[in-house]
C-alpha cells in the first residue's frame, strides 16, 4: 500500500533562518507531488507541484522553493524565513490509479 | 467569479441530526467531485468521490451532485461527535495532471 511521510510535525524557527521540510512517498512510482500551505482559518494554497524528477512548477511567487531530487522525494525550502511564512504545510501525492490527492500529516511552522 | 464557493461555517448541530454541507462551482470542465475531511492539526483525507450526477452512498455519508446546477452536497446521517471536523469540497478535471480545486472548507461541530 502507498504511504506518505512528512516531517517534522512541528517546527518553530526564528525569522531569517533557513527551512527544509521533507516529504517522501512509498509504494508507488512516478507520483505527482504537491506542496500546500494552509493558513489559520483559510483554505489550501497550492505552492508547488511536480510531475517528475527535477520538474517543479511554482504557483505563487514567494520566499520558498521546492526540489525533487528523487522520484518519491519532495523538499520545501527557504533560505531566510519571514514571519508571513508561518502556517500549516502539507505535502500530497496523486497517481495514475488513485482519485484525488493523498495528503501527509502536515508540518505546523511557526516563525518567531 | 470564484471557481468554488463553500460556506465556512462554523456549523453546529446536535448529535444524531442530519448534516447538509454544500458547495457551488462555476467551471463546467470539472469532471469528478470529492469531499475531504480534515481533523484539527491533521492533513485532509479523501472521504468520497464521484463522477456522475446523482447520489452516492457510503455508510452514513451521501454525496449528491447536480451538474446542471453546478452544485454538490454532502449529507451525514446520524451525526456523531467524531464527525466534528472541517469538510472540503473539491473538483478535478479528467486528466491526471489536472490540478484539483479545493473549497475553503466548512467547520462542523457535532454537539453531544
- Which chain A residues are Cβ-neighbours of B8 within 8 angstroms? 41
Q: What percent helix, strand, coil does chain B show, rounded to 5?
A: 5, 55, 45
CB contact under 8 A, B44 and A44: yes
Q: Is the peptide bond before A106 cis (omega within 30 degrees of 0)?
A: no
Q: In angstroms, how far is CA A88 from the centroid of its own chain? A: 10
Angle at B92 between CA B91 and CA B98, to 5 degrees: 145
Residue B95 has pLDDT above 80, yes or no: no
Residue A26 has pLDDT above 90, yes or no: yes
Residue A92 has pLDDT above 60, yes or no: yes
Write the residue in B8, B100, B103 that is nearest to A100 by C-beta. Answer: B100
Side-chain-facing half-sphere of A10: CA atoms under 13 Å: 1
Reading the block at residue B53, the C-alpha cell is: 450526477
pLDDT in tens, B3-50: 788 888 899 999 999 999 999 988 777 778 999 999 999 999 999 988
**pLDDT of amino acid B108:** 97
- The DSSP code for B83 is G
3-class DSSP state of A32: strand
Residue B86 has pLDDT above 90, yes or no: yes
- Which chain B residues are Cβ-neighbours of A92 within 8 angstroms? 43
* Full DSSP string of A69-92: EETTEEEEEESS--GGG-EEEEEE
pLDDT in tens, A39-62: 876 789 999 999 999 999 998 867
Which run of H or E residues covers position A33?
strand A32-38
Reading the block at residue B107, the C-alpha cell is: 467547520
Query: For residue A91, what pLDDT band results from cuts at 50, 70 and 90?
Result: very high
- Which chain B residues are Cβ-neighbours of A104 within 8 angstroms? 43
Provide the 10 A C-beta neighbour count for residue A98.
15
**pLDDT of amino acid B15:** 97
Place of cell 456523531: B80
Amino acid at each position: 500500500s502507498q504511504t506518505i511521510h512528512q516531517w517534522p510535525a512541528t517546527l518553530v524557527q526564528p525569522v531569517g533562518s533557513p527551512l527544509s521540510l521533507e516529504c517522501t512517498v512509498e509504494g508507488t512510482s512516478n507520483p505527482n507531488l504537491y506542496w500546500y500551505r494552509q493558513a489559520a482559518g483559510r483554505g489550501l494554497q497550492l505552492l508547488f507541484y511536480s510531475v517528475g524528477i527535477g520538474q517543479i512548477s511554482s504557483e505563487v511567487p514567494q520566499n520558498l522553493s521546492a526540489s525533487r531530487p528523487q522520484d518519491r522525494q519532495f523538499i520545501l525550502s527557504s533560505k531566510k524565513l519571514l514571519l508571513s511564512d508561518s502556517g500549516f504545510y502539507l505535502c500530497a501525492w496523486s497517481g495514475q490509479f488513485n482519485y484525488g490527492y493523498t495528503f501527509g500529516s502536515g508540518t505546523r511552522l511557526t516563525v518567531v | 467569479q470564484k471557481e468554488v464557493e463553500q460556506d465556512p461555517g462554523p456549523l453546529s448541530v446536535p448529535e444524531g441530526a442530519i448534516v447538509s454541507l454544500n458547495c457551488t462551482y462555476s467551471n463546467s470542465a470539472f469532471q469528478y467531485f470529492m469531499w475531504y475531511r480534515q481533523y484539527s492539526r491533521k492533513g485532509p483525507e479523501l472521504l468520497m468521490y464521484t463522477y456522475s450526477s446523482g447520489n452516492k452512498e457510503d455508510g452514513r455519508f451521501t454525496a449528491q451532485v447536480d451538474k446542471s446546477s453546478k452544485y454538490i452536497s454532502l449529507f451525514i446521517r446520524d451525526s456523531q461527535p467524531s464527525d466534528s471536523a472541517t469538510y472540503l469540497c473539491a473538483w478535478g478535471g479528467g486528466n491526471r495532471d489536472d490540478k484539483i480545486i479545493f473549497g475553503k472548507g466548512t467547520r462542523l461541530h457535532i454537539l453531544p
